[in-house]
């Protein structure tokens, strides 16, 4: 069941179309409680109906994801860890969650921003440790845009299939999500092996 804030934003999406998708995905990529699944899957359904254009949805969602990620990056960069934890608790940013995301970035470097987009729990917070460690902005934007676009496309495809293949999708949704996680893990493994060879 969606919380009232998420439901309000979903109702808004039906009125504003691409503008709402942009802001919903910006919120999802920052610290607000907006799961990308409840935005992009319905958007894919609307694309299948012909109510929305695929290119417009991809552009709006990717730009929104990048905008929200940059906002979180800047927030962490300007506030620092102590103030971020002090005020973050009001929007469900806990010390444990932030520490987990920080360790992920420290272990895997810039590619973690890409891989983190596919991992639940890390996806929403990955931009903050990137800001805290002052990751270079150009690779941050590149990996964020690539990861967010691939994740958004996956959810769009699910929503598109939902219109014609609802029963099939419901039975195999866990497989699709597991496939996305395996893909992200494979990218991370390739990167680790590549770094060790260079070392």
Q: Is 139 exposed, middle or buried (0-12, 13-18, 19+ CB in 10 A)?
A: middle
Which of 46-60, 125-139, 152-166 has the highest average model confidence (pLDDT)? 46-60
| Residues sharing a CB contact under 8 Å with residue 102, sequence separation 6 or more, in sequence order | 129, 132, 133
Residue 55 has a pLDDT of: 93
Give one DSSP letter per residue of 129-170, joined into a string: HHHHTT--HHHHHHHHHHHHHHHHHHHHHHHHHHHH-HHHHH
Residue 116 has a pLDDT of: 80
Window from 52-61, 96-105, 134-143 with minimum mean pLDDT: 96-105
Mean pLDDT of 146-173: 77
d(CA 164, CA 167): 9
- Helices then strands (H, E): number in the chain? 9, 0
Mean pLDDT of 175-190: 65
| Residues sharing a CB contact under 8 Å with residue 185, sequence separation 6 or more, in sequence order | 115
Would you say residue 18 has pLDDT above 80? Answer: yes
Mean pLDDT of 42-70: 90
> Does residue 154 contact residue 67 with C-beta atoms inside 8 Å?
no
More confident residue, 19 or 83: 19
Work out how many domains the chain is built from and give that number: 1
Mean pLDDT of 6-15: 56
Which whole-number Å values give the CA distances from 25 to 71, 150, 176, 190, 199, in the listed order?
12, 14, 21, 28, 38
Q: In which domain, by residue range, is 94 found?
A: 4-198
d(CA 23, CA 5): 13
More confident residue, 32 or 117: 117
pLDDT above 70 covers a percentage of the chain that reads: 62
Please state, rounded to an integer, the average pLDDT across all residues of the chain: 76
d(CA 24, CA 61): 8
Residue 192 has a pLDDT of: 66
Window from 10-19, 69-78, 156-165, 166-175 with minimum mean pLDDT: 166-175
> Does residue 160 contact residue 44 with C-beta atoms inside 8 Å?
yes
Mean pLDDT of 27-55: 83
Would you say residue 128 has pLDDT above 90? Answer: no
- Binned at pLDDT 50, 70 and 90, residue 1 comes out as very low
Would you say residue 11 has pLDDT above 80? Answer: no
């Amino acid at each position: 069941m969606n919380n009232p804030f998420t439901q309000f934003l979903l109702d808004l999406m039906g009125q504003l179309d691409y503008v709402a998708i942009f802001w919903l995905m910006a919120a999802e990529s920052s610290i607000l409680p907006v799961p990308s699944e409840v935005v992009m899957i319905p958007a894919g359904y609307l694309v299948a109906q012909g109510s929305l254009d695929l290119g417009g949805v991809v552009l709006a969602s990717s730009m929104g994801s990048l905008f929200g990620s940059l906002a979180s990056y800047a927030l962490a960069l300007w506030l620092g860890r102590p103030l971020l934890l002090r005020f973050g608790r009001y929007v469900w940013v806990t010390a444990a969650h932030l520490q987990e995301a920080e360790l992920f970035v420290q272990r895997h470097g810039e590619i973690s921003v890409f891989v983190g987009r596919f991992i639940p729990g890390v996806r929403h917070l990955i931009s903050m440790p990137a800001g805290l460690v002052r990751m270079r902005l150009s690779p941050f934007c590149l990996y964020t845009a690539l990861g967010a676009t691939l994740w958004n496309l996956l959810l769009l495809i699910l929503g598109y299939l939902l219109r014609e293949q609802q029963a099939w999708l419901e039975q195999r949704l866990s497989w699709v999500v597991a496939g996305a996680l395996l893909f992200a893990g494979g990218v991370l493994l390739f990167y680790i092996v590549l770094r060790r060879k260079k070392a």
